[in-house]
Structure 1
């Protein structure tokens, strides 16, 4: 159990500090100031070095970053429903570390909570607009929808 938790911690650190920087050019960390307030810090590769990252490496990184928390969530539910409580500490540690990496990189990629909120509201606004346009009796603007994207 201790070995698995140490390996999970090593994986968390490697993905956060090495793999993310090399494969997608992103890095994040959390800094606490003297007052005890937590600040998220984000770092991305400059525009001139963007061509160093290949699309396939980036795609593999993001797929792995999204799939690992899903596996750990599956393990958590299976250990809860099978009443196998002795492994619950390891599974919770895996869930927390993997979701922290996913959350940090999504915020780093999008640029923080305000940009994430604007992106979500713009996406849902566009979906609502398309639904209104495509309803029977509504205006027929389907030929113009490709200009919105």
Structure 2
């Protein structure tokens, strides 16, 4: 009897320690270098544009080249490295034997369990969503202020960062899912819920 009780206690303690270890793993940052470079290039590109636009208008070519290099490094890093490591997602284009081009959107199996850290996931999606919004604001600002020479640079920032955002959203919701249909279904469900709640109140 005593041995059975002690064995049950040992098993329960072991399970508790394992669960605690899993929780700590999901909260900690597993890939600090990837997390750093996920934000580094895109934040540097935004800062470089802001500083060049306001303080260094004389050296337009140098600023433009610097921003484009930073945006290109950011696009490659996020598409090929940080998405795979931080959230277990990746997307790319492949050409088959017939010469047909196909977009592939993949999600690693089991990403909701032990492979993905909650902190890294927040960092990844926050950087992925906020920075394109900043570039869209820069684009409207350049149009309003008639800064035509900066417009191609800003549009490149919008396109490159929006491409990564679109690709990873497709990976998240499923590569075969049409985002337009997904949005339509979501708003349809919301409308149905509101109609049902009104009927229940009446």
- TM norm. shorter chain > 0.5: yes
Q: Which moved more, 1:52-61 or 1:40-49?
A: 40-49
Q: What's 2:128 paired with? A: 65
Q: Flag as ranges the 4+ runs of structure 1 deviating above 3 A.
A: 32-37, 115-119
Q: Which moved more, 1:49-58 or 1:8-17?
A: 49-58
Output one character per residue of 1:94-144: Cα deviation in whole Å (capped at 9) or x when no partner: 000000000000001111253545543432232122121122xx2459xxx
Q: What's 2:148 paired with? A: 85
Aligned length: 139
Q: What's 1:32 paired with? A: 95
**Is structure 2 residue 69 aligned with structure 1 residue 6?**
yes
Shift of 1:34: 5.2
| CA RMSD after TM alignment | 2.2
Q: Which moved more, 1:48-57 or 1:13-22?
A: 48-57
Alignment partners' CA distance in 2, 1:115 and 1:86: 36
Q: What's 1:127 paired with? A: 190
1:130-149 equivalences under 5 Å are 130-135=193-198, 138-140=199-201
Higher helix share: 2
Name the SS of the counterpart of 1:28 in structure 2. Answer: strand
Shift of 1:46: 2.7
Alignment partners' CA distance in 2, 1:99 and 1:48: 23
Name structure 1 gaps, 5 residues minimum. Answer: 142-149
Q: Which moved more, 1:39-48 or 1:79-88?
A: 39-48
Q: What's 1:106 paired with? A: 169
TM-score by length of 1: 0.82
Alignment partners' CA distance in 2, 1:26 and 1:44: 5
Alignment partners' CA distance in 1, 2:89 and 2:162: 16
Which of residues 133, 139, 156 is equivalent to 1:76? 139
Residues 83 and 34 of structure 1, relative CA distance in 2, 3 Å threshold: farther
Alignment partners' CA distance in 2, 1:49 and 1:129: 29
Name the SS of the counterpart of 2:177 in structure 1. Answer: helix
